[in-house]
């Protein structure tokens, strides 16, 4: 992990909220804590090696795999958002039941799967065993923290708040996807542009999933300017055959989506919502 990544993930918000004395203290302890973090940082896990030695993982459902690989998409997971030496098991989003429902019939297909917001790669690792014939592509703002190695996983950098970054990292590539999972910043703009820019990169009959759909409706930090046209509002308008407007959606992308989506279904996990959008 780069020191800049360590700062942005664990300390940027602390500096922003701290007073002068606390800021001086943080400046003093920050490099020491980074060194300690690196010392205790585990080596990357080779999933190809794990596949040979633990083939039983290929026969497990997603609830098991998400918990095994410590993804917050499952029922429980060890909190990976705190420093590595702290171990705290907490409740997950409980999205696994919905993933299982939509994907159990296509799990053996040969597919391209894109996960945005891969973080340490825990969910990608689980998906690689559930979809054992598929290629997994993972994009994140901090790809240097990805903690797994596999011949079937490709990791790259992308900023889902930037149309330019999405264009260059994904749209310009000669690759289409069967499943796209948006689990990145969860900000209002990020969710909207990710869906409407990338829907054209989805293959026919493919799925686009938006996790924590309701964050911009329930968390001010995800919708700083209190904009009313959140992605949840937009999707519900489409479901109810109503018109909608967003300054982040071009008329071309809006028309393409409306002409090519099959269905939109919104489910509630333990606390937050997840949307499954299928293409015609």
Which tens digits make up the pLDDT trace of 255-264? 999 999 999 9
In this prediction, residue 5 carries a pLDDT of 83
According to DSSP H, which parts of the chain are helical? Answer: 3-6, 12-17, 20-40, 47-53, 62-68, 96-103, 122-130, 163-166, 188-198, 215-218, 231-239, 251-260
In this prediction, residue 80 carries a pLDDT of 67
Domain boundaries, the chain: 1-41, 44-279
Element (H, E) at 154: strand 153-157
Spatial CB neighbours of 71, under 8 Å, sequence gap ≥ 6: 65, 77, 92, 122, 123, 125, 126
In this prediction, residue 35 carries a pLDDT of 86
d(CA 278, CA 205): 6
Positions of the chain with pLDDT under 70: 80-86
In this prediction, residue 83 carries a pLDDT of 54
Which tens digits make up the pLDDT trace of 35-92? 887 787 778 999 999 999 999 999 999 999 999 999 999 998 887 655 555 577 888 9
The closest alpha carbon to 111, from 135, 89, 81, belongs to 135
Element (H, E) at 211: strand 202-211
Structure tokens at 226: 């209190």
In this prediction, residue 26 carries a pLDDT of 81
d(CA 126, CA 72): 11
pTM of the model as a whole: 0.91
Largest CA distance in the chain: 58
CATH architecture group of domain 44-279: 3-Layer(aba) Sandwich (3.40)
């Amino acid at each position: 992990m780069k020191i800049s990544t360590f700062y942005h993930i664990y300390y940027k918000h602390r500096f922003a909220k701290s007073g002068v004395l606390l800021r001086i203290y943080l400046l003093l302890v920050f490099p020491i804590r980074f060194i300690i973090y690196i010392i205790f940082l585990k080596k990357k896990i080779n999933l190809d090696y794990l596949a040979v030695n633990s083939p039983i993982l290929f026969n497990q459902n997603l609830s098991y795999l998400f918990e095994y690989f410590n993804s917050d998409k499952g029922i429980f997971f060890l909190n990976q958002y705190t420093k590595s030496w702290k171990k705290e098991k907490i409740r997950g989003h409980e999205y696994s039941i919905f993933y299982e429902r939509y994907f159990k019939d296509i799990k053996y297909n040969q597919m391209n799967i894109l996960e945005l917001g891969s973080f340490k790669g825990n969910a990608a690792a689980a998906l690689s065993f559930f979809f054992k014939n598929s290629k997994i592509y993972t994009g994140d703002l901090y790809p240097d923290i990805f903690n797994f190695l596999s011949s079937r996983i490709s990791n790259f950098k992308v900023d889902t708040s930037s149309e330019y970054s999405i264009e260059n990292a994904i749209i310009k590539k000669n690759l289409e996807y069967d499943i796209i999972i948006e689990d990145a910043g969860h900000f209002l703009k990020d969710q909207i542009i990710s869906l409407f820019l990338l829907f054209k990169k989805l293959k026919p009959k493919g799925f686009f999933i938006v996790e924590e759909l309701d964050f911009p409706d329930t968390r001010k930090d995800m919708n700083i300017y209190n904009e009313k046209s959140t992605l949840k509002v937009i999707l519900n308008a489409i479901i109810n055959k109503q018109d909608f407007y967003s300054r982040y959606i071009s008329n071309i992308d809006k028309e393409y989506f409306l002409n090519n989506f099959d269905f939109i279904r919104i489910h509630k996990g333990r606390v937050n919502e997840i949307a499954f959008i299928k293409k015609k």
